[in-house]
Structure 1
Amino acid sequence: MELLSIGEAAKRLGVHPNRLRAWEKQGLIRPVRLPSGQRRYPVEEINRILGTGGIKAESDAVVLYARESTKKQADAGNLERQMERLRVYAREKGYCVVAEYSDVASGLNQPSGIGTGA
């Protein structure tokens, strides 16, 4: 039985290693645990997923956020182009976009700390 590391398995499936961990918790994929506790994925398990067209888990909900540093950049359409690239990426990856946010502000002019509550 050929076993793949989590990185190798994720690459073959075209997903992030965290997705494999989530699928394991949901019982959608069954890795083999080594005595060290590391996961190894049987090639047969990867082929099973690829052969069925992938795992149909809950849709991944995402929020899109685009930011420009100056109003001049936003007025030039940079903000909208950035948001459109995010939309395309989300669509290609099968994400469900639940909200979109954009911001025009310079980090130099913002108060320190994360989040403004706006």
Structure 2
Amino acid sequence: MESSEVTLSIGDAAKELGISITTLRRWADSGKIRSERSPSGQRRFFLADIKRITPRELNQLDDRITINYARVSSHDQKDDLTRQAQVLEAFSAANGWQYETIQDLGSGLNYNKKGLQKLLKRIIKGDVGRLVLTHKDRLLRLGSELVLAMCEEFETEVVIINKSSEELSFEQELVTDMIELITVFSARLYGSRSKKNKKLVDGMT
């Protein structure tokens, strides 16, 4: 058998390329790399093709978008939001990544922000190859580990530019988040009491 006819299983081919089986399967499905089916129906990859792929070509094969995600808690921090976006875009451009930027305005305790929901949907769809943050807590104040686990599951690389702590801004934003949380619970509590009082008055009239 000639070397050009030698084939590898999907597991061996993925190992040879240094990528995951899921990524290799996605490339094969989109026609980015040749494969054939064995008599038993298993996907086989050509060793000659794999040996021919250079590191640069390997990066080009995985052409999913890079998403820069920036967030602040309140409207009076909009200047900081602009600065975050600029830092993220300069970083991604310097690395030669094709990118989009999502900006969010809302508490780090809020899971329903438009930008975050858009980001999560695109990760689940498999559109996002890389997520870039200035700090991990830009994602969520509590629960960011869940999103990072989701990124790992869907093979989205996470790049955190500054891994050191933001002590002052962290404390300031945490206070803002807690005030917002207390405000929401207070509104619900008093709203509930108001309804009960109204029913009591209605029942007496």
Please, what TM-score do these two structures have when normalized by structure 1? 0.49
Whose relative contact order is higher, 1 or 2, with alpha carbons under 8 Å and at least 6 apart? 1
- The structure with more helix, counted as a fraction of residues: 2
Please, what TM-score do these two structures have when normalized by structure 2? 0.34
Question: In terms of Rg, which structure is larger?
Answer: 2
